[in-house]
Structure 1
Amino acid sequence: MESGINQKSRTESADRVSQLMPALVDDLKRLARIPSIASPGFPPEPLFEAHDVVADQLRAAGVTDVGSLTIEGKTAPVVVAEVPAPPGRPTVLLYTHYDVVPAGDEALWDTPPFEPVERDGALYGRGVADSKANVMAVIGALRAYDGRPPVGVKVVIEGQEEVGSPFDVYPPSAPELFRADAMVVADVGSVRPGVPTLTVALRGSAQVDVEIRTMAGDKHSGQYGGAAPDARTALLRLLASLHDDAGDVAVPGLRRTEWTGTTYSDEEFRELAEIEPEVPMMGTGGLGERIWSGPAITVVAFDAPTTSAPINAVAGHARATLNLRVHPQQRAAEAQAALVEHLRRQRPFGIVPEVVPGEAGDGYAASLDGPAFDAATSALGAAWEGTTEIMAGGGSIPLVMALHEAVPTAEMLLFGATDSYANIHAPNERVLLDEFHRATLALTLFLAEYAQRWEGAR
């Protein structure tokens, strides 16, 4: 197989992207000023404004076929664009999103969230990292080729990714719209600044509700406590069966394998998770397998009075909701069934729990031996001037699974401009301008590298 593009072509691409960066940063600031929040209760007008700005910027980049896709149940339209492939060349689908999460308590921000501020090599503002820098990286790569890249390109930029978009399940219903040989989901980034990183796996997710009923109603703890079966105590005992003393998941049938790619150091993870200094982390074994290639079970809801309003009563009813994160290569329904079976077999104080499975979504594991993977590894390494590292994502991106279902033959790649310290969904979100620059260059180089490697593989 041929290698990728030569050093001269890489240098020319790097020079071109460097020339474009001042305008791309200005355009990123313009886009970040738009409060394109898709959450319920926020005005829809900024979503349409952001949509129009993205569409106009694609046209300005030289893309002539730019349109909108409106999906039933979806407020914000999806920006769709296409550049036909040159003869004998593959097509790449580029996906990201222009909507953002709410700013939250603005008092926690150092600067107003929708007035992007450049400071110490970073741009601060809501949505600059998640995922408007990636929007501009896609547009920047197309600008670098004056709208005529060396491969075919389909652009899909949506506006409701942050709120459980109807688009998450749409692709299988219209596979031709998404037909491509490779897909780049630009909604992730580097494990740490300065380290080129390709995300190759995502854990699946499943919900389970568990409920215990012991009496017709709550009873006074002084009169009945000690013999009356307390539903909350029974539920706590049931939930305690999910982990062993070290904090590892103790449910049979849940897949866990060693993680051999890059991961955080324990110190980095403690900092990112803001773990209190004297508190140990949960589980044993490698950190990567605990957060990426192994299961996790979290109690995400528990019905009980708050400590600010306690009630001296033995509870007759208790309920909790569990979130199960699943190995990328285990079917979520299979893992969910294992958790349900484990819970149903428990008898806390002899009480039979009621267990109800909820939604389940599979994870994803990419192929590591195709021309697109090789091209991305090469392009990222060249852009960051280092060795490309492989990581996974502990959370699900439902659209990735939907795109894979729609076009199962396409190679799926996840990389982008953000990094683990970007504070996405938190106050003082930021994107490092150097990371933005390198991500734009990586995407530019990838399109050329993929064209070469595609031909070499034929």
Structure 2
Amino acid sequence: MISTDSRTTIFNQLSQLVAFNSVHGDPALADQAAGAAQWVVTALEESPIEFEVSSHLTVDGSRAIIGYRAPEANQPTVLLYCHHDVVPAGELSAWESDPFTLTERNGRWYGRGTADCKGNLVMHLEALRQLATAEAADPTAPKIGLIFLAEGSEEMGGEGLDQLLADKPELFRSDVILIADSGNAAVGIPTLTTSLRGGAQLTVTVRTLDAAVHSGMFGGAAPDAVFALMRTLDSLRDEKGRTVIDGVDTTTRWEGRPYDPENFRTDSTTLPGVELAGDESDNPADFIWARPAVTVTGFTSTPVSQAVNAIPPMAQARLNLRVPAGIAAAEIAEKLAAHLKAHVPGGAHIEVEIEDINDGFASDLSQPAIQLFQEALSAAYDGAEVVSIGSGGSIPLTGALQQQFPQAEIALFGVEEPESRIHSANESVDPTEIERIAAAEFAFLTKYSQAAAANTK
């Protein structure tokens, strides 16, 4: 598989990178985000691949790091994407070890960003070390063009990189785009992600009173904003927990690899006895990859610790909307807003604000470079069949790149898998996934370059 020295290098690099609490947009952590960005700059400058390295301050205040190597002798250019920002660690007491100290337990490496997405960043670096070794062994062969792109605000929507792409598309121009920000269906199962959901954020505010009033004097008759909002949100589910949005088809089926319900229960940490959405005719893959979904990600009224005997005059919820590829997220967001307004009870005043709209993405596995990448991925996993899955997550940049460079072939993959528990406490990565994915990426870069050279003879 891989040498002990190589694994040590991967561990050391990931350890250094995980040490940065690089949450974008938190002023208290600005030095941490800057430190992670500078770490990437240094890593590229010290890479055995000779890059022209640039750091770009984007409109959202994040740093996008780009390493560029020009192609030789009509060779194509491949863009390698990852991001160096992370989500907040959350409650530290929920972690079994310090989230910013890479810790090995039972064969896995734990820490914030180990799988999403710093593990992918060091995976790229390992693939490039292997490529440099191969190029040194055959110095006369023309070198493939490379763009190493590490984003700094992906977890917060990636507005900065989107604008940089719009303003300076020449920085990203490539023939193949390898987006390492996804992962395998399970450890040891080589996987390509063929679709990403788009989505939007909605803030719903319900008001029923001008001010809080005494529940003893007015309770039971005065309209309660919390109950009004809860009843409004409840209209978004049928009796089996399926999403319902007026005027939107929420019954479509996923046509790819199904998601075993028992595996889904384990992967999603569903508690014993708690029913999954739907019935025996539904598969979890339908819900997370093929249908619109609405999640309440935040709720505001009077905190329990501050509760008094008063009727709340206002309640607010933050909704995360996800829509499958091929459906306009803006259209579904507007229909969701209309649904909420139509179902608010008793004439309660309701406001709906829509933000952060992004459309989904679907890839074409029949393209020649993507087929070559599948072969390399299978070989890295000892000939295992490459499976295709969807992703409930969104990577807005993917759609923007596809729109900017419609001829470019795009593959989504990565080192994470369900046991990684990304965005949760005790996030982890299986180091063999980093090693195998790096081997696949190196093999692809080599074979793609060789194929291009053969075609020019």
Residue 3 of structure 1 corresponds to none
Residue 392 of structure 2 corresponds to 394
Q: Distance in 2 between matches of 1:365 and 1:85?
A: 28
Residue 195 of structure 2 corresponds to 201
Residue 329 of structure 1 corresponds to 326
Residue 150 of structure 2 corresponds to 157
Is the 8 Å Cα contact of residues 168 and 402 (structure 1) preserved in structure 2? no
Q: Which amino acid aligns with 1:214?
A: T
Distance of aligned partners of 1:59 and 1:306 in 2 relative to their CA distance in 1, 3 Å threshold: closer
Residue 283 of structure 1 corresponds to 278
Kindly provide the CA deviation profile for residues 146-165 of structure 1, in whole angstroms up to 9, marking residues without a partner as x. Answer: 18585321111133433444
Q: Distance in 2 between matches of 1:274 and 1:455?
A: 49
Q: Which amino acid aligns with 2:285?
A: G
Kindly provide the CA deviation profile for residues 404-445 of structure 1, in whole angstroms up to 9, marking residues without a partner as x. Answer: 333233222111122221133333332212111101101111
Q: Which amino acid aligns with 1:337?
A: E
Paired positions, count: 444
Q: Distance in 1 between matches of 2:366 and 2:4?
A: 31
Residue 6 of structure 1 corresponds to none
Distance of aligned partners of 1:68 and 1:298 in 2 relative to their CA distance in 1, 3 Å threshold: same
Equivalences for residues 302-321 of structure 1 within 5 A: 302-321=299-318
Residue 411 of structure 2 corresponds to 413
2:256 aligned to which of 245, 255, 261:
261
Equivalences for residues 37-436 of structure 1 within 5 A: 37-38=23-24, 40-73=26-59, 75=61, 77-146=63-132, 148=135, 151-170=144-163, 171-256=165-250, 257-284=252-279, 285-346=282-343, 348-349=345-346, 351=348, 353-385=350-382, 386-436=384-434
Residue 138 of structure 2 corresponds to none
Q: Which moved more, 1:287-296 or 1:365-374?
A: 365-374
Q: Distance in 1 between matches of 2:205 and 2:31?
A: 42
Q: Which amino acid aligns with 2:214?
A: H
Distance of aligned partners of 1:227 and 1:20 in 2 relative to their CA distance in 1, 3 Å threshold: closer
Secondary structure (helix, strand or coil) at the match of 1:133 reads helix
Paired-residue identity, %? 36
Q: Distance in 2 between matches of 1:28 and 1:318?
A: 42
Task: Give TM-score, length-normalised by structure 2.
Answer: 0.87
Q: Distance in 2 between matches of 1:238 and 1:184?
A: 42
What CA RMSD, in Å, does the superposition of the two structures yield over aligned residues?
A: 2.9
Residue 446 of structure 2 corresponds to 448
Q: Which amino acid aligns with 1:273?
A: S
Q: Which amino acid aligns with 1:281?
A: L
Distance of aligned partners of 1:172 and 1:233 in 2 relative to their CA distance in 1, 3 Å threshold: same
Is the 8 Å Cα contact of residues 158 and 397 (structure 2) preserved in structure 1? no
Q: Distance in 1 between matches of 2:195 and 2:423?
A: 22
Distance of aligned partners of 1:347 and 1:450 in 2 relative to their CA distance in 1, 3 Å threshold: same
Kindly provide the CA deviation profile for residues 39-90 of structure 1, in whole angstroms up to 9, marking residues without a partner as x. Answer: 5144544444443443343344333233223224455532211222233332
Q: Which runs of 5+ in 2 are unaligned?
A: 136-141
Q: Distance in 2 between matches of 1:262 and 1:451?
A: 31
Secondary structure (helix, strand or coil) at the match of 2:155 reads helix
Is the 8 Å Cα contact of residues 59 and 160 (structure 2) preserved in structure 1? no
Task: Give TM-score, length-normalised by structure 1.
Answer: 0.86
Q: Which runs of 5+ in 1 are unaligned?
A: 1-13
Equivalences for residues 8-47 of structure 1 within 5 A: 20-38=6-24, 40-47=26-33
Kindly provide the CA deviation profile for residues 387-415 of structure 1, in whole angstroms up to 9, marking residues without a partner as x. Answer: 11111211212222332333233222111
Is the 8 Å Cα contact of residues 28 and 132 (structure 1) preserved in structure 2? yes
Q: Quote the offset at 1:351 in angstroms.
A: 4.8
Is the 8 Å Cα contact of residues 205 and 350 (structure 2) preserved in structure 1? yes
Q: Which amino acid aligns with 2:315?
A: A
Kindly provide the CA deviation profile for residues 118-156 of structure 1, in whole angstroms up to 9, marking residues without a partner as x. Answer: 343322333222222211221122211218585321111
Kindly provide the CA deviation profile for residues 102-132 of structure 1, in whole angstroms up to 9, marking residues without a partner as x. Answer: 4444444333333323343322333222222
Q: Quote the offset at 1:35 in angstroms.
A: 4.5
Residue 438 of structure 1 corresponds to 436
Q: Distance in 2 between matches of 1:308 and 1:270?
A: 32
Is the 8 Å Cα contact of residues 67 and 81 (structure 1) preserved in structure 2? yes
Kindly provide the CA deviation profile for residues 171-210 of structure 1, in whole angstroms up to 9, marking residues without a partner as x. Answer: 1221111111121111221121011011121111122333
Q: Quote the offset at 1:211 in angstroms.
A: 3.4
Q: Quote the offset at 1:92 in angstroms.
A: 1.1
